[in-house]
């Protein structure tokens, strides 16, 4: 066991957050599964804290655990106490190691830690911290993460709490803080994930810049006045929003899509046959696909369909 810390219990009221930013990230939000685990089994992992004086300790990691213990009104907390004389790099390394789970879940926590470490550590030490986080030890990686802290408060909160993916968050840099606020409202309302979330933000960004209007003008109709109401058909509403945005972004392609669908519908194709157009309709050609349940079914049908394909070679 390292000699640069000690284990002891501390009064909950003697613990404080490093700065208001972290306090705002966690205040008002409690991890329910974590809280229930702590309620059942108690605190098993000490909080990492830095001793500032006899009765003041700065919380360095395990913020969600601290919030849950506060919620449960536990008066004495089990802590791993670091001395205020500890070297900065050692302190930040311990923050990474003891706060590993939270850092992996929140790019904002990683960004905040790197921002703080950048003011007290050498460049080599900063790159070493990136390695400890499981990230490539490259300066631009640290700069990219720290830049997330320049996003709006709503975007930062959404990214921290998992409403917004890191890949999608990078699109938000193209929007003002006010515009980001309305994008986050849409995300919280309809909860798109993965590629749908990225596409939604990409199209909203493209349209608001092309039309030179605030995002609020574009999305207000999709934000009911009663934000507390929950709709059972939110997934269907999200699909409708995406379709409308696609229509606004690419009206000509949407028109061609509709025309092609009408053409395919007019053919009255069997269920096992489909027709697809060329990519982006760059050519007039199209492809016919026949689905067989098995290779044996194709083999049995081949003698009948082969002559047909042989005579139509070169046609659409």
C-beta of residue 60 within 8 angstroms of C-beta of residue 28:
no
- Top pLDDT among 286 and 110 is at 110
Tell whether the model's pLDDT for residue 11 goes beyond 70: yes
- Top pLDDT among 151 and 280 is at 151
For all residues of the chain together, what is the average pLDDT?
88
The per-residue pLDDT for 309 is: 67
| Count of other CB atoms within 10 angstroms of residue 15 | 18
- Top pLDDT among 227 and 216 is at 216
Q: What is the pLDDT of residues 99-128, one digit of tens each?
A: 999 999 999 999 999 999 999 999 999 999
Report d(CA 214, CA 164) in Å as an integer. 20
Q: What is the mean pLDDT of the segment spanning 130-159?
A: 96
Three-state DSSP class for residue 225: coil
Domain ranges of the chain: 152-249, 268-311
Bridge partners, 81 (sequence order):
6, 49
Report d(CA 313, CA 64) in Å as an integer. 65
* DSSP character at residue 182: H
The per-residue pLDDT for 226 is: 59
Tell whether the model's pLDDT for residue 200 goes beyond 80: yes
Report d(CA 35, CA 68) in Å as an integer. 5
Dihedral (CA of 153, 91, 102, 124) sign: positive
The per-residue pLDDT for 316 is: 44
230 pLDDT band, cuts 50/70/90, is low
Report d(CA 59, CA 190) in Å as an integer. 35
The per-residue pLDDT for 181 is: 96
**Helices (H) then strands (E): counts for the chain:** 16, 7
Three-state DSSP class for residue 129: helix
Tell whether the model's pLDDT for residue 228 goes beyond 70: no
Tell whether the model's pLDDT for residue 259 goes beyond 90: no
Give the contacts of 133 (CB within 8 A, at least 6 positions apart): 96, 103, 110
Report d(CA 180, CA 171) in Å as an integer. 10
Three-state DSSP class for residue 228: coil
- Count the alpha carbons within 13 Å of 222 in the hemisphere toward its beta carbon: 27
Tell whether the model's pLDDT for residue 81 goes beyond 90: yes
Instruction: Extract the tokens encoding 171.
Output: 């699109």
Tell whether the model's pLDDT for residue 217 goes beyond 70: yes
Least Cα distance to 100 among 137, 150, 141, 48 occurs for 48
Least confident span in 77-91, 169-183, 302-316:
302-316
Q: What are phi and psi of 50, to 5 degrees?
A: -115, 125
313 pLDDT band, cuts 50/70/90, is low
Report d(CA 173, CA 151) in Å as an integer. 7
Most confident of 211-215, 300-304, 305-309: 211-215
C-beta of residue 208 within 8 angstroms of C-beta of residue 215:
yes
The per-residue pLDDT for 266 is: 83
Q: What is the pLDDT of residues 56-73, one digit of tens each?
A: 999 999 999 999 999 999
Q: What is the mean pLDDT of the segment spanning 91-102?
A: 94
Q: What is the pLDDT of residues 146-188, one digit of tens each?
A: 999 999 999 999 999 999 999 999 999 999 999 999 999 999 9
- Residue corresponding to tokens 């696609």: 246
Tell whether the model's pLDDT for residue 201 goes beyond 80: yes
- Top pLDDT among 114 and 55 is at 114
């Amino acid at each position: 066991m390292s000699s640069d810390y000690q284990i002891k219990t501390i009064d909950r009221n003697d613990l404080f957050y490093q700065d208001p930013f972290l306090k705002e990230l966690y205040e008002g939000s409690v991890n329910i599964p974590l809280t229930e685990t702590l309620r059942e089994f108690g605190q098993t992992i000490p909080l990492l804290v830095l001793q500032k004086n006899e009765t003041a300790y700065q919380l360095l990691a395990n913020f969600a655990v601290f919030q849950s213990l506060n919620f449960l009104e536990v008066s004495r907390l089990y802590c791993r106490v670091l001395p205020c004389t500890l070297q900065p790099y050692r302190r930040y390394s311990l923050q990474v190691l003891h706060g590993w789970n939270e850092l992996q879940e929140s790019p904002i926590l990683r960004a905040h830690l790197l921002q703080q470490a950048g003011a007290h550590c050498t460049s080599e030490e900063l790159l070493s911290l990136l390695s400890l986080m499981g990230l490539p030890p490259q300066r631009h990686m640290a700069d990219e993460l720290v830049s997330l802290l320049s996003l709006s408060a709503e975007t930062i909160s959404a990214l921290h709490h998992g409403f917004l993916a890191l890949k999608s968050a990078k699109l938000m840099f193209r929007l003002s803080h006010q515009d980001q606020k309305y994008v986050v409202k849409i995300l919280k309302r309809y909860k798109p994930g993965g590629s749908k979330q990225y596409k939604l933000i990409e199209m909203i960004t493209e349209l608001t810049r092309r039309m030179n209007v605030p995002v609020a003008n574009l999305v207000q109709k999709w934000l009911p006045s009663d934000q507390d109401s929950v709709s059972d058909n939110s997934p269907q509403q999200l699909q409708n929003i995406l379709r409308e945005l696609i229509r606004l972004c690419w009206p000509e392609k949407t028109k061609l899509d509709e025309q092609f669908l009408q053409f395919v519908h007019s053919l009255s194709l069997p269920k096992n046959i489909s027709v697809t157009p060329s990519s982006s309709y760059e050519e007039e050609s199209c492809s016919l696909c026949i689905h067989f349940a098995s290779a044996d079914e194709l083999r049995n049908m081949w003698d009948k369909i082969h002559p047909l394909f042989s005579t139509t070679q070169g046609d659409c």
